[in-house]
Structures are given as structure tokens and as C-alpha cells.
Amino acid sequence: MSGPARTAGSRSWLGIAGAALALVAVGGLPWIQSAPNPLALGSKFLVRTSTVSSLGGWPAACLLAAPAAVALLVSARPLGPRGGWWLWAAGSAGLLAVWSTSEPLIAAGRAQGAVANVALWGSGVWLSLAGYGLLIYAGVLNVRRAGRMPSALWSVLWLPVLLVIAHGAWLVFRAEPAENWLWRVFQEEAQSGGIQRRLREHLWLAGVSAGLSIVIGVTIGIWGYYRERVAQAALYVSGVILTLPSLALFAMLMEPFAALANAYPVLRSYGIGGLGAAPAITGLALYGLLPVIRNTHAGLHSVSAAQVDAARGMGLTSRPTTSTVPV
């Protein structure tokens, strides 16, 4: 297992990274994102962002950043025999502090009018949890290398992380639907059979698009095996397609399919139109072309020339040679 401190007395670079991440998250990143209603969360103009200092003042920010500051000082110097314990203690204290104060900060923000009805944890909360989790990991590694604790008790050091996960799961399952709009949507979808329907739609879209990608990609890859210009052009075009954002690609496909459906209305009965499965399957199939073409082209070229020459010497033409020798 690799880690930040390979020998006793070295600096803990993983501890430095975790402490720096937690300090940045607590110091300036959005702690809470709120909006008047769930739909408004998708609009950047209606979402409010609040930092720790704006919700609880500088005392709250200092409280949440203090463990990271201590861990940064410990990690920046050569770790002594108890350095791992210091990192573990700082990470555990910071993790529990962030987890236990986030909801009270939301309540305080609502009392001040700074937080709207629907509030979600911002990037600051999640990154600070990740930073303190890294500190716990760095501490466990150093304690383990120091050999000052029986191996049977190493798992106990992960108790703070397990407590946070267990408490989070308990909060999710105990929340009333009226108080948790995400849970309410999930329950409504489950009761109406929406989850099963969406799952079937997802599997159908993924399966059809993957099948098209394989058929088209393998065909182009075999063609490019004999025509290098075709292979290079196909790899270039499929690479360019893969760089397009998904929403942009789907928007580009909507207009041609809509025009096609307007010109031939009978196609609408088969689900072909500007909206629906046709642009989704086409876009997903285009995204899957590059790996199929590249792997087919590389696999065929990996066959040694001696084997191909031997097959041709036996009288095989191009098609039998391609279908038997490389396979």
C-alpha cells in the first residue's frame, strides 16, 4: 500500500493535500446552495450560495478549519512516532465537526434569510469531508507503519468515517417525504412504476446504441485495415465527435430528425422525430465509435505479417484472411 510517509520521520504529503483541501473548502467555497423551489436549482440566476463565514461567522469558520490547520503543521514537518495519531485525530475531529455543523448552519442561514426553502450542501461541504477523510487515511497509514498498534485494531481507526456514513444513511431513510423532496420524488416514481420503466428505457437505449456502435465501428475498422486513409479519417472524425458536449451533440441532432419527420410523417409512428429515442440513440452510437474503431484497427494490425503471408500463400483471399487469421 502506497502512502505519503514511507519511512518514519518523513513528511506526509497526503496529509498536506488533505489539510490544504479542507482549508480551501472551509475558507472560500460555497457551503450551502439554496433556491426557492427544487426546479430553481437548475438556474444559476435563482440559486443562492453561502459560505461558512456568512452563515455562522468567523467563529464557525475557525472551528471547522482548526483541525486542518493543525494537520497541515504536523504534516509539513517530519513525522515523529506520534505523527500518525495527530493526523488521525485532526481528520476525525474535522470530519465530525463538518458533519455535525452543516445542518445547524442551514438552520441559522434560514433564520437570517440567507438560505431559501430548498437547501443543498455545496462543494465546500463535500470537499472538506474529502480533505478530512484524506487526513484520516494518512493517519492510519502512518500508525500502521509505525507498528504501535495491533493489526486487529486497525479497523477501529475508521470508526469516524463509518459513523458519518451510518448517520447519513439513517437521515435519508428517516426523512419524511414532505421534508425531503428528493425522497418524495423517489417514492412517487417507485409507487407509479416509474423506476422500472426508466430502467427499461435506459437499458434499451444503451443496448441499441452499443450494438450500432459495434456494428458500424467494426465495419469501419476492417475497412480501415485495408485502407489506411479511411482508418485515419474515421479515427479523426470519431475523435472530434467525442470532444463535443453531449447536450450540444443532441441539440445538433434534433433539427435533422425533426426535419426528416416533417418531410415523412410516417416516420413518427416509428419514434423518429426531433425529440425521443432517435437522436438519443444516434448520439450515443456516435460517442461509442472511437473505441470500437481504434481497437478493431489496432487488433487487426497486431497480427504478424508472417501469418498473413502464410494465409495468402495457402490461397486465401482478402475476406477469408481477415475473418480467420486475425481472429
Please check whether residue 1 lies inside any domain of the structure. no
pLDDT at 6: 41
Count other C-beta atoms under 10 Å from residue 296's C-beta: 22
Count other C-beta atoms under 10 Å from residue 35's C-beta: 19
Q: Which CATH number goes with the domain that contains 301?
A: 1.10.3720.10
Please check whether residue 7 lies inside any domain of the structure. no
Residue 301 reports pLDDT greater than 70: yes
Please check whether residue 95 lies inside any domain of the structure. yes
pLDDT at 46: 54
Q: Is 12:75 a contact under the CB 8 Å cutoff?
A: yes
Please check whether residue 5 lies inside any domain of the structure. no
Does 200 lie in the same domain as 110? no
Please check whether residue 258 lies inside any domain of the structure. yes
pLDDT at 60: 81
Does 218 lie in the same domain as 86? no
User: Can you tell me the distance from the alpha carbon of 54 to that of 29, in angstroms, rounded to the nearest whole number?
Assistant: 11
Band (pLDDT 50/70/90 cuts) for residue 217 is very high
Does 262 lie in the same domain as 172? no
pLDDT at 317: 58
Does 212 lie in the same domain as 114? no
pLDDT at 3: 43
User: Of the candidates 314, 194, 313, 311, which has an alpha carbon nearest to the alpha carbon of residue 322?
Assistant: 311
Band (pLDDT 50/70/90 cuts) for residue 313 is low
Does 117 lie in the same domain as 29? yes
Structural domains in the chain (count):
2
Q: Which CATH number goes with the domain that contains 165?
A: 1.20.140
Band (pLDDT 50/70/90 cuts) for residue 292 is very high
Domain end among 188, 207, 229: 188
Please check whether residue 94 lies inside any domain of the structure. yes
Is the pTM higher than 0.75? no
Tell me which residue range forms the domain holding 82. Answer: 13-188
Please check whether residue 162 lies inside any domain of the structure. yes
pLDDT tens by residue, 28-78 = 788 777 666 555 555 555 566 777 777 777 788 888 889 999 988 888 888
pLDDT at 5: 39
pLDDT tens by residue, 158-205 = 888 888 888 777 766 665 544 555 566 666 667 777 778 888 888 999
pLDDT at 214: 94
pLDDT at 327: 45
* 3-state SS string for the chain: CCCCCCCCCCCCHHHHHHHHHHHHHHHHCCCEEEECCHHHHHCCCCCEEECHHHHHHHHHHHHHHHHHHHHHHHHHCCCCCCHHHHHHHHHHHHHHHHHHHHHHHHHHHHHHCCCCCEEEECHHHHHHHHHHHHHHHHHHHHHHHHCCCCHHHHHHHHHHHHHHHHHHHHHHHHCCCCCCHHHHHHHHHHHCCHHHHHHHHHHHHHHHHHHHHHHHHHHHHHHHHHCHHHHHHHHHHHHHHHHCCHHHHHHHHHHHHHHHHHHCHHHHHHCCCCCCHHHHHHHHHHHCHHHHHHHHHHHHHCCCHHHHHHHHHCCCCHHHHHHHCCC
Does 96 lie in the same domain as 211? no
Residues 6+ apart with CB under 8 A from 299: 221, 326
Does 224 lie in the same domain as 184? no
Please check whether residue 200 lies inside any domain of the structure. yes
Domain end among 157, 188, 219: 188
User: Can you tell me the distance from the alpha carbon of 81 to that of 64, in angstroms, rounded to the nearest whole number?
Assistant: 26
Does 156 lie in the same domain as 34? yes
| Cell (9 digits) for 184 | 418524495
Does 172 lie in the same domain as 43? yes
Domain end among 188, 219, 240: 188
Does 180 lie in the same domain as 55? yes
Does 167 lie in the same domain as 117? yes
Does 219 lie in the same domain as 158? no
- What average pLDDT does range 89-117 have in this prediction? 77
**What is the pLDDT of the chain when averaged over all its residues?**
77
pLDDT at 7: 43
pLDDT at 157: 78
Instruction: Choose the weakest-confidence range: 137-141, 292-296, 309-313.
Output: 309-313
